[in-house]
Structure 1
Amino acid sequence: MLGGVNGESSPVPGLAMLRSYRRAWLPRDLVAGLVLTALLVPQGMAYAELAGLPAITGLYTSILCLLAYAVFGPSRILVLGPDSSLGPMIAATVLPLVAADGDPQRAVVLASALALMTGAIMMVAGLGGLGFVADLISKPTMIGYMNGLALTIFVGQLPKLCGFSVDAKGFGGEVAGFVQGVLAGEVVPAALAVGLGGLILIGVLPRVLPRIPGVLVVVVLSMLAAALFGLDERGVVLVGTLPQGFPPPTLPLIGLSDVLPLLAGAAGIALVSLTDTISTASSFAAREGRTIDGNREMVGIGAANLAAGFFQGFPVSTSGSRTAVAVQVGARTQVTGLVGAAAITLILLLAPGLLRTLPQPTLAAVVIAASVSLADVPGTVRLFRVRRTEFALSVAAFLGVVLLGVLPGIAVAVALSIGNVFRRAWWPYQTVLGRVPGLPGFHDVRSYPEAELLPGCVLVRFDAPLFFANARTFREQLERRSRSDPAPRWIVVAAEPITDVDTTAADMLHDLDVALNGRGVHLVFAEMKDPVRRKIDRYELTGTLDPAHFFPTLDAAVDAFRRETGARWTAPQPG
C-alpha cells in the first residue's frame, strides 16, 4: 500500500507518520509545501470559479482538504485539492439549484452540502470495502470522458480569457455565445493579451525551466502587468481583495427538494474522484515498488471532503500534476500538505490583498491549461490503432459529455463500461481446437489453420461463464456443430474458461444434452473447475449428463474417445 511512513496499517495514518517523522525530512517538506502553495492558491481560486463559486472558497477548500488528508489519507505524497475535472460536475449539480438571481451564498451552501454528501458516500463505501467501484469506468471510456470534459472546459473558459462573459447552457450554447460575443466586438484586447500570454507561458516554461512552476511565474507577471499598466482601467477584471480571516465551521442547510439532485451529483463526483485517485496513487506507488488500498484511499478522500464541506468548501480530488510537482521538489510526507495549508491560512489572515491585482483572464488561462492536460489524444489514437471497439466506446463517452452534459456524461461512461463487459460475456469468443504437430496442447484452428482434427470428435472452447445472457449462444453453437456432416459422436467442451454456470444455463445444458443424445451425440466436458463442477452436482445435472463424461484434461478426454473409436488425427482438407 502507498501508506504513511511506518503507519500503513494505522486507522489514522497521519498521526502514525508524525510519530515516526525524521527531522532530516523537514527541510524538503517545507520547501515542497511552499512551492505547492504557489500552485494551490491560483489553481484553487481558478477551479472555484470553474465550479461557479466565489474564488475565496477554493482557498478554504484547499486548506481543509490538505489538513484532513494529512491525518486520514494513506498516501504519504498525494496532494488533494480543487480539481479541474470536478469543477464542471460541481457547477452542473449546483447551478441549476441556485435561485434565479444567482445568489453566490446559496451556491456556496449547496456546494458545501455536496462536499459533505460526497465525503459521506466515500467514507461509507471505503469502510464497507467498496473500493472496487473505481473499476466501474474502463480506461477507454475514461479517456473519452476526460476528452469531452477537456473540450467542455476549454470552450467554457474562452469568453473569460477574452474579457467578456456568456450566459448560455450546454456546449452548443456556449460555442454560439462565444462566437456571437467575438462578432459583436466584446473582446477586451488587454484581457486577451494577458490570457493568451499566460497560456503560452504555462505551456512553454515547464519545457524551458522544468523546476520552476510555470503557473507561479504567470501569476506574478500578470499581477505586475496589472499594476504597471493599469489593466483594470483597460477593461480587465481583477480578482480584488479577498475576505480576511477564516470561516467558522458551518452546517449547510438545504431544502428537501435539493437532496436528490445533490445526491446524484455526489455519487458521480465520488466515482470520478476515486477513479482519478486510484489511477494517480497507483502510478506514484509503482515508482516506489508499493501497492495501494482503494478502500483506505476512499476513507482519506472522504475525510477531506467532509472537512471541506463544514468550512464553505466544495468536493475535492487528487491532483496528479500537483503531486508530481511535490515529488519533483523533494516532498517526503504529508507534512508538505500541512505546510501548504498553513501558508494559505497565513495569506488569508495577514495578507488578503496580496492577490487583488490578479487578472481574471490569468485564472482562465490556468483552467484552460489544466483542461488541455485532461485530454489524452495519444491514448485515443492508440485505441483507434489497436482496438476499434474500445475506440468507439471512447468516442461515445466523449459525445455523451459534449452533447448531454457533464453529469449525464459520467452516467454514459459508466453504462458504456458495464455494457462492454456484458457484451463480451454475452457474445464471447468461441472456437474449435485442434492438434498442431510439434506444438504441445490443443490450439485455436483460426490461429493454426493447419491444425489436425479428430474425426467424430469436436473440441470446442467457450471463453466466458455460462449465464442467462449467453446460454442460447452456447446452445446454438453446439447444436450447429452437432449437425455437421459427418455428424460428431462427441462434442468435448474445453471448460477451463467457464468460471460459472447459473440456473438458466443449467436448464439449457439439461435440454441440450437431451437433444444431442437424441441424435447420438454425447456432450463431454474437460478441465471444468471444481467450484463449477460442484454447482453441476448441486443442480442435479449429472442425472442427465453422464458423470463418466467429465475429464480432468483435454488429453484425457481425447484419449478416451480414441480408445472407444480408434479414431486418428487427420490433417484438414484443402478448401
Structure 2
Amino acid sequence: MSHRVTDELGEKEMDITTISSSFHHSENLPYVHKVGVPPKKDLLKEFTTTLKETFLPDDPLRPFKDQPRSKKLVIGLQTIFPILEWGRNYNLSKFKGDLVAGLTIASLCIPQDIGYASLANLPSHYGLYSSFVPPLVYAVMGSSRDIAIGPVAVVSLLLGTLLRNEIDPTNNIDDYLRLAFTATFFAGITQFTLGFFRLGFLIEFLSHAAIVGFMAGAAITIALQQLKGLLGIKNFTKKTDIVSVMRSVWSTVHHGWNWQTMFIGISFLAFLLFAKYIGKKNKKLFWVTAIAPLISVIISTFFVYITHAENQGVQIVQHIQKGINPSSLDQIYFSGRYLVKGFKIGVVAGMIALTEAVAIGRTFAAMKDYQLDGNKEMVALGTMNIVGSMTSCYIATGSFSRSAVNFMAGCNTAVSNIVMSCVVLLTLELITPLFKYTPNAILASIIISAVIGLVDIDAMILIWKIDKFDFIACMGAFFGVVFASVEIGLLIAVSISFAKILFQVTRPRTAILGKLPRTTVYRNIQQYPDATKVPGVLIVRVDSAIYFSNSNYIKERILRWLTDEEELLKENKQPRIQYLIVEMSPVTDIDTSGIHALEELYKSLQKRDVQLVLANPGQVVMDKLHASKFATLIGEDKIFLTVGDAILTCAPKMEET
C-alpha cells in the first residue's frame, strides 16, 4: 500500500520515507506550525464576557452608546414601543395595504373567534374580546409586520382541557372564568419574564419535530371534538382521546344525530374546503379563503332564521353578549387555592402560545427579509396577555392562518391588527345580536377547515427522511395527543426532545480519519471510502465538546477504536499502532471531567506504548489544557495545528524505530 502526502503548497507529492529522509538529510525541513497558547484572561472579564454572549449576544445597549440624554430617551421609548420608530415614516400608501389586510383578517377572525371560545369552554363573546384588546397592545409593542393576533385553536383546546380538569364550566362558570383570567395573567407574566431576562432560548428545547407532531395531534383532536356540533349530538364525552370520542359518536348514531344539522355542517364544510383549495391554487384569490367563513355564517344564519330550523333540533349560538370588554382585574386569583393552579396552567399554555407566535413571526420575517427580535416579541406578547387578562380576554397569540392571509393581503405594518381590532369593536357593539341564529354546525365546520392545515404530512415525511429519532419524537407527540390527551402529548413531546438532547450530549459521534489521495486532507473513512489510513497511526476525531456527561464514553470509545485497530493489524501482520492522534477541531469546550478523561486515556496509552498526539484544539480548550498542566504532561511537542503537521512529525520518528 502506498502512503503519500503533499507539501504545504500542494505542488508535489512525496511518500513517507522521502519525508523521513528529508528530516534527516535536508537542511530545509518542512515547517510545522505550532498551536498558539491564548493569553491569560482576567477572571471577572471572562465571566462577564460569557454572560454577555449568552444573554446579550445582540448588545441591546449599543444604540444608546455615545448619544445625548434626550436621544437616549427617544431610543428607549422606540425600543419599548416600536410603533414610535416605524410610525414616523408611515404614509397613506402603506395604510391602504394595511386597511385591506385588516378588513380581510377581520372577516376571518370573527367566526373563528366565536368557535375557538367554545374550544376553551368559554362563552362566545370572550373569543371576540380576545381579538379586540390584545391586537391593539401588540400593534404598539410588537416588532412583526405580518403576525395577526387573536385566539388560536391549539392554545384554546389546551387551555380548555387544563381548566376543565380543575373546574367544571357547566356547573361553576364563574370560578371557571376567574381561573381562565388567572391562567391568562400568568401566561403573560411567563412570556414577559422570558423576554425581559432574555431567556427566549428556553422555548427552543421543544424541537421542530415534536411541535409538528403535537400540532398535528391537536388538529385531529380538535376536529374530532367538532363532531358534536357537526352531527348535532347533545350528549357528548368530555374526554378528548380518539377512543372516547369515537365511542361517543357511534353510541348515538341511531338516536343522537340530527340530519338537518349534518346537512348544514357537511355542506358548508365542503364549501370552506373548496374555498381553501381555490386560495391555495391561485395566491391572488387568497381573499376567497379569508371571506368564506363569514359568508358561511351569514348564509347559514339567514337560512336557520327563515326556516326556524332550531325547532327541528338544529343547535344555535342563541346569545352573544353585546358591548366591549368589561374589566376583569378583580376576578384574577391573587390568593387562595386556585392561585397555584392558575399559575401552572398559565405557564404551560403561555409557553405553547409563545412557541407558536415566535415561529410564525420568524417565518414571515424571513420571507420579507427583515430582522425580528425574539425577546422584544416575548415582552410584547406577555404585556398583551397581562392587559388582556384584566379586560376579560383569554390567551391570545399569533395565528398562522390569519397571519398567512394578512401577509398575502399585502399588510405593511401592525396597523392591520388595529384595523381588525376596530372591526371586532364594531361587531361587539352593533352586530352580535345577529349571530343569535348562527348554527353550531357552521362553527364546527369553520374550526375543522382551519385546523386541517396544522396536519403537515410533507413535514412529517421530510422528518422521516432526515432523522429517524426526530420522527420518533414527532410520532410520540402525535399519538400522545390523539390517544391520551393534549397535556400527555405535550409531556411526551417535551420528554422526547430532552431525551434527544441528552442522547446527543452523552453519546457524541467519533470517527476514524484517513488521508484523501493526493492531498494532506484527513477525513472520515466511512464518508470517504478512498481515504487511506497512515501506517502506525490511528487518527480519531471527536465531534463534540467533552463534558462530564460524555467524557468517559469518549475515552472508552477511543480505546475501543484502538483495540479493534490493533487486532485488525495483528491479523494482517502489519506494523502496530505507535501514535494516536486526536483531531480536536470540533471540540468547542472541555471541563474538569473531560481533562481527567484525557489524563486516563494518556495513562492507558502509555501502558500500550502508544503516544498521544492532539491536533488543532481551539482557544478555550487550549487554555484549559495549559491551566490543568495536561499540555505539559503529554509534552508541548505533542500538540499540533493540523493532523497533517502531526503526521509530518510522527512519520520520521516511526522510521527511526
In 2: Cα distance, 1:548 partner to 1:297 partner: 52
Q: Would you say 1:299 and 2:379 are equivalent positions?
A: yes
Amino acid at match of 2:421: A
1:556 maps to which residue?
A: 645
Does the residue aligned with 1:443 lie in a helix, a strand or coil? Answer: strand
In 2: Cα distance, 1:440 partner to 1:143 partner: 44
Amino acid at match of 2:268: G
From the superposition, tell whether residues 552 and 49 of structure 1 become closer, same or farther in structure 2 (CA, over 3 Å).
Answer: same
1:310 maps to which residue?
A: 390
Question: 1:74: how far off?
Answer: 0.9
Count residues in correspondence: 563
In 2: Cα distance, 1:275 partner to 1:516 partner: 49
From the superposition, tell whether residues 482 and 350 of structure 1 become closer, same or farther in structure 2 (CA, over 3 Å).
Answer: closer
1:541 maps to which residue?
A: 630
TM-score (normalised: structure 1): 0.93
1:454 maps to which residue?
A: 534
Partner of residue 226 from structure 1, selected from 304, 328, 333: 304
Partner of residue 343 from structure 1, selected from 404, 423, 441: 423
From the superposition, tell whether residues 336 and 89 of structure 1 become closer, same or farther in structure 2 (CA, over 3 Å).
Answer: same
1:210 maps to which residue?
A: 286
Q: Would you say 1:69 and 2:138 are equivalent positions?
A: yes
In 1: Cα distance, 2:169 partner to 2:317 partner: 24
1:175 maps to which residue?
A: 246
1:571 maps to which residue?
A: none
In 2: Cα distance, 1:49 partner to 1:100 partner: 11
Does the residue aligned with 2:612 lie in a helix, a strand or coil? Answer: strand
Does the residue aligned with 1:354 lie in a helix, a strand or coil? Answer: helix
Taking only the aligned residue pairs, the percentage that are identical comes to 26
Amino acid at match of 1:540: K
Partner of residue 364 from structure 2, selected from 256, 277, 284: 284
Asked if the contact 2:121–2:169 (Cα under 8 Å) also holds between the matched residues in 1, the reply is: no
In 2: Cα distance, 1:205 partner to 1:221 partner: 15
Question: 1:543: how far off?
Answer: 4.6
Question: Per-residue CA shift, 1:224-246, capped at 9, x if unaligned?
Answer: 22123222122111112321212
Question: Per-residue CA shift, 1:62-98, capped at 9, x if unaligned?
Answer: 1011111011111122111000110111012211221
In 2: Cα distance, 1:8 partner to 1:245 partner: 33
Question: Per-residue CA shift, 1:465-514, capped at 9, x if unaligned?
Answer: 11222222211222223431454111101101111212222211112211
Question: 1:101: how far off?
Answer: 4.9
2:605 maps to which residue?
A: 516
Does the residue aligned with 1:16 lie in a helix, a strand or coil? Answer: helix
Q: Would you say 1:372 and 2:452 are equivalent positions?
A: yes
2:158 maps to which residue?
A: 89
In 1: Cα distance, 2:137 partner to 2:423 partner: 16
Asked if the contact 1:457–1:489 (Cα under 8 Å) also holds between the matched residues in 2, the reply is: yes
Question: 1:361: how far off?
Answer: 0.9
Amino acid at match of 1:225: F
In 2: Cα distance, 1:330 partner to 1:452 partner: 58
Question: 1:565: how far off?
Answer: 1.7
Question: Per-residue CA shift, 1:253-302, capped at 9, x if unaligned?
Answer: 33532233332222222222222122211221122211221101101111
Gaps of at least 5 residues in structure 1 are 569-575
Gaps of at least 5 residues in structure 2 are 1-57, 59-74, 279-284
Deviates more, 1:503-512 or 1:185-194: 503-512
1:427 maps to which residue?
A: 507
Does the residue aligned with 1:524 lie in a helix, a strand or coil? Answer: strand
Amino acid at match of 1:185: H
Question: 1:385: how far off?
Answer: 3.1
Q: Would you say 1:188 and 2:277 are equivalent positions?
A: no
1:410 maps to which residue?
A: 490
Deviates more, 1:427-436 or 1:265-274: 265-274
Structure 1 residue ranges (4+ consecutive) displaced by more than 6 angstroms after TM superposition: none
2:589 maps to which residue?
A: 500
In 1: Cα distance, 2:106 partner to 2:552 partner: 60
In 2: Cα distance, 1:122 partner to 1:567 partner: 67
1:149 maps to which residue?
A: 218
2:23 maps to which residue?
A: none
In 2: Cα distance, 1:103 partner to 1:357 partner: 26
Asked if the contact 2:195–2:377 (Cα under 8 Å) also holds between the matched residues in 1, the reply is: yes
Question: 1:8: how far off?
Answer: 11
Asked if the contact 2:182–2:346 (Cα under 8 Å) also holds between the matched residues in 1, the reply is: no
Amino acid at match of 2:332: L
Amino acid at match of 1:562: A
Question: 1:110: how far off?
Answer: 1.2
Structure 2 matches for 1:249-260, cutoff 5 A?
Answer: 249-251=327-329, 252-254=331-333, 256-260=336-340
In 1: Cα distance, 2:410 partner to 2:533 partner: 63
